[in-house]
Amino acid sequence: MEQFEALEQIHTPIWIYDFDQQSIFWANSAALLLWEAETLTELLNRDLKTGMSQAVKTTLDTYRKQFELGECFRKWWNITPKQIHKRVLCDFSGVELEEGRLAMLVHALSEESYLRSNLAFSDGSNLSLLFDQSGYLLSANDAFQQFYPIALTHLSTLTGSPQRADKWLTEAQVRGEVEKETNLTINDQSYNFRIIANWVKNKNQLLLQLTDISQQKKQILAAQFEANHDCLTELYNRRGLLTQANSWTQTQHSFHLVFIDLDGFKMINDTYGHGQGDTLLIAVARRLQQSLPEALALARFGGDEFVALLPVQESLCEKLANINQLLRAPYQLRSGITVSVNASLGSTTFNSQEPLPVETLIQYAGYAMHKAKKQGKNRYQVFTSDLAQAISRKSQIRHYLSTALESDQFSLHYQPIFCCQSGKLYGAEALLRWHDDTLGNIPPAEFIPIAEDSGQIVALGDWVIQHALEQLSQWQIRDDQEFVVSINVSRIQLHSGFSTRLAQLIERYQVKPSQIAIELTESCMVYKMEEVKQWLSELSQIGVKIYLDDFGTGYSSLSVLQQLPIDVVKLDKSFVQSSQEGGLAIIQATAAICEKLGLAVVAEGIEEEYQKELLCQNNYSYLQGYLFSRPIPAKQFSQRYLL
Ligand code: C2E
Ligand code: CA
Ligand code: CA
């Protein structure tokens, strides 16, 4: 026994089982505890023979054969020392005793009671059943009888049919050992087992060693479901949809991918709380499921974004309009709350002849959806080659824009603004110009939104202010001349440090604050109103003017006018240029409101003499437009207007 003394150092139970004596040959101290033994002698003398089922005996025989082949394995093992049932995860291997006989070394890794919560399988493993060659049960071990109390006399009761039982018997007989995972119904309950079937040749018996993996299977299925589904709506999540869509690209000639985004969902979330928001999202998911029974897959990508894969259909536009209409119908949330939401939809089509990766399809459908949203929400948009071109142009601009500032590709043009009554120059609007050698002249309406998107507008905007102020400082303006340079500022530039920076630059270029105006659009004002109010009053305190640009195109115009320190309102050019009655009504209404509030009004976009007449009649203070001059370089501007 000396040869095993080293094993005494190990703190987990180890013992050696003597196949021939059918008793324990040696055990370390930890094993004594596991076996409920007071002393080693007591354990070694313990009778394990009596009461050992034939199934266990045969199992041990197969282990012995495996050890002879040099194999070792890990299994759950049941022991019942002193009537205490224990399940232990053990490593089994063969070990040679001094006299050359083969014994079994068992190393208990852990008792199930410790592991139960961590391990996938909690039911039986190392269940053994022994059948004769005709399939009649010879023996079942205790564990099997304990966990699966069925009247089992023949293999067919287990397999469900005599044919299947025959198949198992033949298979094992022919192949010696068969390993399989299978579903068995025991007492009307369904279980998943991993089964190793051994044919005991010399006795013509079938030994089944079963491990119940039902829990494990269930957990795997649950984990798979969770990984691929959105837990709120139980639709697929992004990952699940990608898997589905990828598999459809293999089997379908074509299909549509529709991106659906709710308009104004954030407001519902903010107003009624996230709980009600969730209720709404679930209701939207159910409506989609009901109305799109033909859908190949439905998913929620998080937030209020849904994606549907639809079989290809000629009436796609009709379908998209239908989805839109269906989602628009009111939703009943918590009792008494009824809300309505609109949706914007974008779609693209997979075509096996020109297969695009699913990620790209999602991106395209997303672009189309954004376009629908931009066009006024509650719409659908099919992804077209025009849109593809626009996207590639946009990404090209984004790319070139990133180096344009350091390559000094920008300049400022100035467009004069005149006083309506006197006809004299009142000021100029500084407008940014970009020339790139490859792309040519890119209009600001095209690159400013991209710069805003990428955040580059902050640096670019600062450049604009510096150059406008520098220019202003160089122009010789008479002391008695009123002259205001107005500078466009994006919402993103406006933050708590903005007025300090502006004051710094005013100081650096030694210009009069009263000669500077900041043009902001209405959309700057509505979001985070309180903060904006604070920043604007800081600007007023410096002494710069504030112009409200593109008036009439945004929302909540009137309240903005009343609450913020605005000096001048610039009516959007679309009204000046509108030939419709509505345009005239707005021209007149804006004049009336501004007069009441004591604000000056600039009319932009005047191209025709009659427009000028009309605006002067309506008491507009200042006029700007191509009729007087296009935006021109600084030098030209000063030659024309300042000398
Ligand atoms: P905006 O602020 O409304 O500027 C007026 C736009 O109307 C200018 O276009 C100007 O050239 C154009 N315009 C002036 N008179 C007429 C006219 O009689 N008829 C027509 N059809 N158009 C006229 P531009 O220079 O292409 O600028 C477009 C927009 O880009 C600007 O609209 C402004 O929103 C933005 N932008 C330009 N420069 C800057 C800048 O430095 N910073 C920021 N953040 N935005 C800028
Ligand atoms: Ca402007
Ligand atoms: Ca404008």
Domains of the chain: residue spans and CATH: 5-117 (3.30.450.20), 127-218 (3.30.450.20), 229-383 (3.30.70.270), 402-642 (3.20.20.450)
pLDDT over 90 at 114, yes or no: no
Interval between CA 570 and ligand 3 midpoint (Å): 6
Q: Is the C-beta atom of 486 inside 6 A of ligand 1?
A: no
Cα–Cα dist 359/138, whole Å: 59
Question: For residues 35, 40, 41 and 43, what is the CA-based torsion angle, rounded to 10 degrees?
Answer: 10
DSSP 160: S
Distances (CA, A) of 310 to 237, 247, 252, 261, 320: 16, 14, 11, 17, 11
Interval between CA 67 and ligand 3 midpoint (Å): 88
Q: What is the pLDDT of residue 78?
A: 83
C-beta atoms surrounding 46 within 10 Å = 15
Q: What is the average pLDDT score of the chain?
A: 90
Which runs of E-coded beta strand occur in 141-224?
A: 177-186, 189-200, 205-212
Cα–Cα dist 16/90, whole Å: 12
Backbone torsions φ then ψ of 432, nearest 5 degrees: -75, 140
Q: What is the pLDDT of residue 249?
A: 93
DSSP 201: G
Do 414 and 632 meet the contact criterion of CB atoms below 8 Å apart?
yes
**Atom of ligand 1 at shortest range from CA of 489:** 44
Buried b (16+ CB within 10 A) or exposed e, 48-72: eeeebbbbbbbbbbbbbebbeeeee
Q: What is the pLDDT of residue 206?
A: 92
pLDDT in tens, 36-73: 999 999 999 988 888 788 888 999 999 999 999 999 98
pLDDT over 60 at 148, yes or no: yes
Q: What is the pLDDT of residue 600?
A: 95
Verdict on whether the full-model pTM lies above 0.75: no
* Residue of 412, 418, 429, 431 to mutate, ligand 1, most atoms within 8 A of C-beta: 431
The secondary structure of the chain in percent helix, strand, coil, rounded to multiples of 5, reads 45, 25, 30
Cα–Cα dist 297/287, whole Å: 14
Q: What is the pLDDT of residue 117?
A: 34
Least confident segment among 5-14, 35-44, 156-165: 5-14
Do 233 and 281 meet the contact criterion of CB atoms below 8 Å apart?
yes
pLDDT over 80 at 2, yes or no: no
Do 217 and 280 meet the contact criterion of CB atoms below 8 Å apart?
no
Of 521, 516, 479, which Cα lies nearest the Cα of 501?
516
Interval between CA 417 and ligand 1 midpoint (Å): 13
Burial class (CB in 10 A: 0-12, 13-18, 19+), 166: middle
Cα–Cα dist 309/361, whole Å: 11
Token pair for 465: 């202010």
Interval between CA 347 and ligand 1 midpoint (Å): 33
The long-range contacts involving 352-360, CB below 8 angstroms and separated by at least 24 positions, are: 352/249, 352/252, 352/253, 352/254, 355/249, 358/242, 358/245, 358/246, 358/249, 358/257, 359/242
Residue 376 falls in which region: left (phi positive, over 0), alpha (psi -120 to 50) or beta: left
**Atom of ligand 1 at shortest range from CA of 452:** 44
pLDDT over 70 at 17, yes or no: yes
pLDDT over 80 at 475, yes or no: yes
Token pair for 35: 């076996």
Distances (CA, A) of 107 to 355, 362, 376: 56, 54, 71
pLDDT in tens, 64-103: 999 999 999 888 788 888 888 788 888 999 999 888 899 9
Q: What is the pLDDT of residue 555?
A: 60
Distances (CA, A) of 179 to 198, 209, 283, 298: 9, 10, 47, 38
Q: Is the C-beta atom of 192 inside 6 A of ligand 1?
A: no
